[in-house]
Amino acid sequence: DAKTTQPNSMESNEEEPVHLPCNHSTISGTDYIHWYRQLPSQGPEYVIHGLTSNVNNRMASLAIAEDRKSSTLILHRATLRDAAVYYCILISGDKLTFGTGTRLAVRP
Amino acid sequence: DTGVSQDPRHKITKRGQNVTFRCDPISEHNRLYWYRQTLGQGPEFLTYFQNEAQLEKSRLLSDRFSAERPKGSFSTLEIQRTEQGDSAMYLCASRPSGGANYGYTFGSGTRLTVV
């Protein structure tokens, strides 16, 4: 599976939107873009995934660039409970391959 | 459905002892995965099953590690002759088969400490 690049850390203020970027310039046509987050001392939690079109669910939105070489996870109003490590993963096969993700801190 | 369950949540064992962890996936999910996570790192893939068949094993899975999924339901991960380097969080995940258009559901993990 192709590799992704994410910033090591980001900060946000509570109740403000957060845009978490992910670069994946070597993405192939069959790769899905998955996002997971991991709160301290818990297993990863599925957030959202997409292939080509932007996606929305109750947790977040996923904006995918037209050339698919980058994507952005959007949390519309950050809360303290959104403080976590966010992983952007490309997958076309059978398993998730995690990088080190982006550690999001939310300031009250 | 209560999600993916892992037992125990925590395990402390002496070096050289054997340990076994259990994972109960979401009942309709026929894919089951094991991952290991050490402090500050992302989870690393160990192995996965489709129903009762073990389809792939990572090179991280030494011969001291064995995983089973009898009858395609729950799975166990056994570590024989534990070493201090085995100390980690062991995570289980499940999903339906059918390609990458499905999210993975993870359990809360089993934290192993080898003393």
The per-residue pLDDT for range B54-80, each reduced to its tens digit, is 999 999 888 999 999 998 899 999 999
Position with higher pLDDT, A80 vs A94: A80
Question: Does the distance separating the beta carbons of B41 and A44 come in below 8 Å?
Answer: no
The per-residue pLDDT for range B22-63, each reduced to its tens digit, is 999 999 999 999 999 999 899 999 999 999 999 999 998 889
- Token pair in block for residue A93: 């096969």
Whether the pLDDT of residue A87 is over 70: the answer is: yes
Look at chain A and count its residues: 108
- Token pair in block for residue A33: 């873009």
Q: For B33, which of A49, A95, A99 is closest by C-beta distance?
A: A95
* Helices and strands in chain A, H and E counts: 0, 9
Per-residue confidence at B107, pLDDT binned at 50, 70, 90?
very high
A32 to chain B: closest CA residue: B100
Q: For residue B45, which residues of chain A lie inside 8 Å, CB to CB?
A: 95-97
Distance of CA A89 to the CA centre of its chain: 8
- Token pair in block for residue A54: 């932007």
- pLDDT at residue B97 in the model: 83
Question: Does the distance separating the beta carbons of B41 and A96 come in below 8 Å?
Answer: no
Q: For residue A30, which residues of chain B lie inside 8 Å, CB to CB?
A: 100
**CA-CA distances (angstroms) from residue B18 to B12, B14, B21, B57?**
11, 9, 10, 20
A101 to chain B: closest CA residue: B42
- pLDDT at residue A92 in the model: 82
Per-residue confidence at B98, pLDDT binned at 50, 70, 90?
confident
Rounded to 5°, angle at Cα A96 from A92 and A97:
105
Mean pLDDT over the full length of chain A: 94
Question: Does the distance separating the beta carbons of B101 and A32 come in below 8 Å?
Answer: yes
Per-residue confidence at B99, pLDDT binned at 50, 70, 90?
confident
**Number of C-beta neighbours around residue B9 at 10 A:** 11
Q: For A46, which of B44, B105, B107 is closest by C-beta distance?
A: B105
Question: Does the distance separating the beta carbons of B104 and A36 come in below 8 Å?
Answer: yes
Would you call A89 helix, strand, or coil by DSSP? Answer: strand
Is A79 an interface residue toward B (CB < 8 Å)? no
Structural contact between residues A33 and A50, judged by C-beta atoms closer than 8 angstroms: yes
Question: Does the distance separating the beta carbons of B41 and A34 come in below 8 Å?
Answer: no
Of chain A residues 14-73, which have a CB less than 8 A from chain B? 30-32, 34, 36, 42-46, 49, 51
**CA-CA distances (angstroms) from residue B3 to B24, B26, B39, B87?**
8, 5, 24, 25
